[in-house]
Each structure stands twice: as C-alpha cells, then as structure tokens.
Amino acid sequence: MRNKLPQLDYSAAAIPEVARERDMEYKLKMKDYADKKAADSNIQEGDIVLMRNETKGKLQPNFRPEKYKVINLNGLDMIVQSKENGSTVRRNVQFAKKVQVAEPDTEVEVSEPEPETEHTGPDKANGLIERTNRIIEKILKIATVEKKDLQKEFRKFLVAYRSTLHTSTRCTPFSLMFGREMRNKLPQLDYSAAAIPEVARERDMEYKLKMKDYADKKAADSNIQEGDIVVMRNKTKGKLQPNFRPEKYKVINLNGPDMIVQSKQNGSTVRRNIQFAKKVQVAEPDTEVEVSEPEPETEHTGPDKVTMATETSAPEVRRSVRVRKPPVKFADYLVNH
C-alpha cells in the first residue's frame, strides 16, 4: 500500500506459500507456549460438575450450586445435563469444576476452611483491612452456598483464625491476647512460651520491613499531583466494558498513596488509593503564535554561492567497502561477473 510515509518494500517476501509456512510456525510456537502452562483437566464423561457463576457480587459464589452431569466430552468442549430439570448446555471444560461425590455408606469428614495467614503488604493504604475483608467474604460465600447460619459459621472462622499460627509474629492471636493457647479437643504444640509481646512485636516489624523492601523493588512513583484531572478504574466487568470510567475527577487532597477526588459532574467526593486512578492529559488552550516572514536572502555572486549550493545538495549515500567473496561451495564454478 502506498502512503505518504517512507517505508521498506516487503512485496518480494509476500509469497503465499512462505507466508503460510511462517503462520504455521508462529501458531506452533504459541501452542507450545500455552501447553507449558496448561494443566490437564480431570473431568471425564459421567462426572458431576458445577458451572461457573456469571453473576458478580461480593456474596456470590464462584460456582453455581446446581449440579450437572457430563454426557459428552470432546477435547475442551463438553455437553452437560442438569440434574434438576434435565436441560443440556454446551460449555468449555475450563468453566466447570468437578464435584467429589461421596461413596455410599461412608462418612465424610467435613473440615473447616483453613484461614489464610495475615499479610500486611504496603501496596495499599488500608491493605490490612482489605485483606481481612477478603477472608470474611470467602467464609460468607461458603456459608451462603451451603445454606448455613452466617453468624455460626463466622464464629467458627474466628475460632480457627485466633488459634492459627501467624507467619509475621510466629504466634497465635489468642496467645498474644491471653498469654496461653486456646484449649480444644485436638492435640497441638504449645507456643505460649514464645508468645512474648515484645518479641512478637519485633518479629512483626521485621516481617513488615521485608514485605516493604520486596514491594519497593517493583513500585514506581506516580505522576499524579493535587489539582490533576484523573479517571477512576471501572469495577464493572465485561468484554466491552472500559478499564476506566469516563467520568472525570479532580484531586483535591493527596497524602502518600491515599487521595481524595471530587467529581466534575456532581461535585461528590470519594476517597481512593492512587493506584486506582489514571491521569488525564488536559490539552492546553491554543495560543497565538506570531509567524514572521522569512527574510529575503541576498544574492551572492562568487564562490560563496557555489559553496552554499553544494552544502544544500542531497547527502552522498555511503556504500559498503567490505570485500565480497563468493561462498566456498561455488569455488569450482565459473560465475559471470
């Protein structure tokens, strides 16, 4: 295609057979790269599976409670039948999760979900609160799907959380609070001797500094300042949803990674972390630029005029000076020069 920009001529390499071979090689490379990260699915025909929940929400489970039976499986494509109304749907195998069906006349021991260890990362201003809320949301999701009492399940979670050894302090929250370990019916090690508040506080500070150094290696300074116009990240998920909302905000207060922004539409203020904002490049107003007329050049008659014409001429194209030799395999051939 001809355009106004200078470009190289690739028409000699645009041979259909060669382009087809290159495309096949590229697809094979992409397939090998994807196969390295792909894991074989353990779903087979006849298995009972759950389908991924498309409804988004904090208390919505990741998979719907309705069970399906796999009646046909062809690679990553499968056809499942509902156990409730017998309807069949066609889905990809990555949107399904296998259900472990208990064998008859066997008791299945239901274990409580293991609480995740506490993490105080410096990536967010209120990271500790958000991390704790994420664990609580997970427990409430499980209780909602299993149709259990939320308060009772939350108390079970607190018992498990307070009796679990934390990575940062290497002590349990219960032992730091009461000076002894929580008594229960399970055999366990005694960590009460190590639960000294001063020692635990020093361990926690060392752990936080390690996490801070790790985060600082990957962190980059933000160019957002007070008075800038920004757009906020879009929380609505979807293929056609933009990454940032079109509504513009003005930064009215900035304190480290924490900022307060004001909407340009209705004047409402919200408090957000700086990593959820993107600076908008505001175009400066057009300014009048004085265009001066070029001064007429005086005519020179002499060798100076010839020198100026020589300097403004096209630059000489540099040629390669290396010695060119024919390949060794053509040494016994007569080549026409």
List strand residue ranges (DSSP E) for 87-209, in order: 88-92, 96-98
Q: Which residues contact 135 (CB under 8 A, 6 or more apart)?
A: 115, 116, 157, 161
**How many domains, the chain?**
3
Tokens of 2: 């001809």
Side-chain half-sphere CA neighbours of 304 within 13 A = 4
Quick one: 45 and 97 in the same domain?
A: yes
Quick one: 190 and 155 in the same domain?
A: yes
Quick one: 96 and 156 in the same domain?
A: no
Q: Is residue 30 part of a domain?
A: yes
Quick one: 200 and 145 in the same domain?
A: yes
pLDDT in tens, 149-169: 999 999 998 988 888 888 888
Q: Is residue 198 part of a domain?
A: yes
Quick one: 207 and 244 in the same domain?
A: no
3-state secondary structure of 250: strand
pLDDT of the residue at 65: 86
Which has the closest alpha carbon to 50: 100, 99, 102? 99
Quick one: 97 and 44 in the same domain?
A: yes
Show which of 279, 298, 315 is a domain's final residue: 279
pLDDT of the residue at 115: 41
Tokens of 223: 């160019």
Show which of 169, 190, 218 is a domain's final residue: 218
Q: Is residue 323 part of a domain?
A: no
Q: Is residue 97 part of a domain?
A: yes
Which has the closest alpha carbon to 63: 47, 52, 76? 52
pLDDT of the residue at 117: 37
Quick one: 41 and 90 in the same domain?
A: yes
Q: Are the beta carbons of 233 and 276 closer than 8 angstroms? A: yes
Distance between CA 239 and CA 69 in Å, rounded? 29
Quick one: 154 and 85 in the same domain?
A: no
pLDDT of the residue at 250: 93
Quick one: 55 and 131 in the same domain?
A: no
Q: Is residue 328 part of a domain?
A: no
Quick one: 235 and 185 in the same domain?
A: no
Q: What is the CATH number of the domain that holds 38?
A: 2.30.30.30
Q: What is the CATH number of the domain that holds 264?
A: 2.30.30
Distance between CA 204 and CA 206 in Å, rounded? 5
pLDDT of the residue at 123: 41
Q: What is the domain extent for residue 175?
A: 124-218
Quick one: 24 and 85 in the same domain?
A: yes
- Sheet with strand 229-233: strands edge to edge: 269-273, 258-263, 244-255, 229-233, 277-279
pLDDT of the residue at 327: 81
Quick one: 54 and 94 in the same domain?
A: yes
Distance between CA 86 and CA 269 in Å, rounded? 51
Q: Is residue 302 part of a domain?
A: no
Tokens of 194: 């190590």
DSSP string covering 8-72 = ---GGG--HHHHHHHHHHHHHHHHHHHHHH-------TT-EEEEEP----TT--SEEEEEEEEEE
DSSP string covering 100-117 = -PPPTT-PPP-PPPPPPP
Q: Which residues in the chain land under pLDDT 50?
A: 106-124, 289, 304-310
- Sheet with strand 88-92: strands edge to edge: 88-92, 77-82, 63-74, 48-52, 96-98
pLDDT of the residue at 32: 83
Which has the closest alpha carbon to 157: 181, 177, 180, 134? 134
Q: Is residue 109 part of a domain?
A: no
pLDDT of the residue at 43: 87
Q: Is residue 305 part of a domain?
A: no
